[in-house]
Structure 1
């Protein structure tokens, strides 16, 4: 049967891992910036913004990622920039292993009877390989997209506890806690503090984010190939759809990171950083959108505070959002 899921030859371990030594080196070099971005996602801005003029308007400029990493090094040294490095590597490996194993072992065989002229499309990357007057097969795209969503979701769910551990290890930088020191000790601490379901905090927005990155570009690709068959046009529009999806999905990543630290014993999960308790991830998303900080940490270089502000003594001050290092909580500059 062409549309039946059949077991195929087991894939090799190196194929399942989907990660090379070059990827590992690149991830090691860039991890301090990922660590800084994680702190930005959960709402920690240790350096108070500076007033700047932007197209004639006065705004609050936040430090870029390099300044953020430099601040982290000044507090904890270089090793402090690698908090949570081990669980994040394990998290990526686990997600990739599960997705690639299921995809390589149980991939459906729906393409054995594809009509001639309709195989000129790379279904995994959603790119036309050459100009063709025949549009891609709709069933192929739908089945491939659905299968990718299933495998990615499965890998995300299996590896999510490691994601929670990573976020909490990094979040300890704020309050200088030491509960999460290794994967085993972190698992024990989370189970004792939040129970089993604490290992899956923030899972729903992460699943939505990962599936949105697959589903929306595929829908755009399917729609555009119904009208146009030019390779450059189709690939350009699909690439633009991927960029827009990444921008929107980032908000869900911020929500997931925020929900991961909520109600925890860490300082970052309490006031003044979290001014309220969220009933769920949608409540958290709505709150961040109301404050216009749902994209915090997305930019690495030109960062500006876009949340609510007020003027005190002729100076702009943030409202309902805490900015500044925690140990300066009593400082007049950072007490808003």
Structure 2
């Protein structure tokens, strides 16, 4: 119990510190570009037109909403993190108890065996999936609170009122918008990371190089999930001209792929102007 409490506190602290980063990232994922490109230099010293990076974008948000504006959506995110940590911990505890009671469970296995890796990864997958399923409504509210910056709306002004709004307008399914690609991305990233670490037998890299590599490969799932969570929800950021009304997450994936936007928002530094597109000041986006 003490370990879970410490994990909740640590997670909450990290969430507060990283909130401005997530806020900017979500707005970039939507395609909102409040500042026009400027002439700068890339890492090779060549002059190129670049989009504002993390700090310039955050400075603009502070100019509009003040420093507190960087923390929109923090309350539901903290709720999501705390509840997710507790659910994850409880599911892992139950899975270990169940596995210990199975026939032959007393047999000792080498920690590095493939069978052990598969078992541990499977338990972690179940625990993560359960936590994601339970906390996804808070994730949806977090994203919508952030995207309100685009249209200057106040539709999702509080966590409890946001629950009532979503239920009234979209029903139960509204709380799980974007859930499938998010789950698929999490599961794929987990298995990819753990199996690569096992195959190379370099477990010291498990949470470093391979985690980064896996997150890069599965980023499109994160992007599609976030876009589906705000799709056609009544906010300017989820409607044209920023986003069409997607019929499903597969439709969203397909359109992003055709536009070459599968990695939009993946990097918040050295952001190049999209090739073949022009910046539209009135809409604060590229088309």
Output the TM-score relative to the length of structure 2. 0.88
The structure whose Rg is larger is 1
Cα distance in structure 1, aligned partners of 2:260 and 2:45: 21
Change in 2 beyond 3 A, CA 1:100/1:20: closer
Number of paired residues? 281
Q: State the match for 1:7 in structure 2.
A: none
Give the 4+ runs in structure 1 shifted more than 3 A.
20-26, 51-60, 233-240, 333-336
Cα distance in structure 1, aligned partners of 2:5 and 2:221: 26
Question: Structure 1: which 5+ runs fail to align?
Answer: 1-11, 120-135, 226-232, 311-316
Shift of 1:24: 3.2
Q: Deviations over 1:214-243 (max 9, x none)?
A: 101222233334xxxxxxx56448843322
Change in 2 beyond 3 A, CA 1:105/1:83: same
1:48 pairs with 2:17: no
Asked whether the equivalents of residues 11 and 81 of structure 2 are also in contact (C-alpha less than 8 Å), the reply is: no
Asked whether the equivalents of residues 18 and 97 of structure 1 are also in contact (C-alpha less than 8 Å), the reply is: no
SS of alignment partner, residue 19 of structure 1: helix
Q: State the match for 1:75 in structure 2.
A: 64
Shift of 1:53: 5.6
1:194 pairs with 2:161: no
Asked whether the equivalents of residues 16 and 101 of structure 1 are also in contact (C-alpha less than 8 Å), the reply is: no
1:162 pairs with 2:128: no
Shift of 1:149: 0.4
Determine which of 58, 83, 87 is the counterpart of 2:76: 87
Asked whether the equivalents of residues 15 and 100 of structure 1 are also in contact (C-alpha less than 8 Å), the reply is: no
Output the TM-score relative to the length of structure 1. 0.76
SS of alignment partner, residue 61 of structure 1: strand
Q: Deviations over 1:106-153 (max 9, x none)?
A: 3223763124xx23xxxxxxxxxxxxxxxx222111111111101100
Q: Deviations over 1:46-89 (max 9, x none)?
A: 11222446569775411011111110011111121111110000
Q: State the match for 1:3 in structure 2.
A: none
Asked whether the equivalents of residues 18 and 96 of structure 1 are also in contact (C-alpha less than 8 Å), the reply is: no
Change in 2 beyond 3 A, CA 1:238/1:20: closer
- The CA RMSD over aligned residues, in Å, is 2.4
Q: How does 1:202-241 map to 2 (within 5 A)?
A: 202-225=178-201, 233=202, 235-236=204-205, 239-241=208-210
Cα distance in structure 2, aligned partners of 1:237 and 1:335: 38
1:100 pairs with 2:93: no
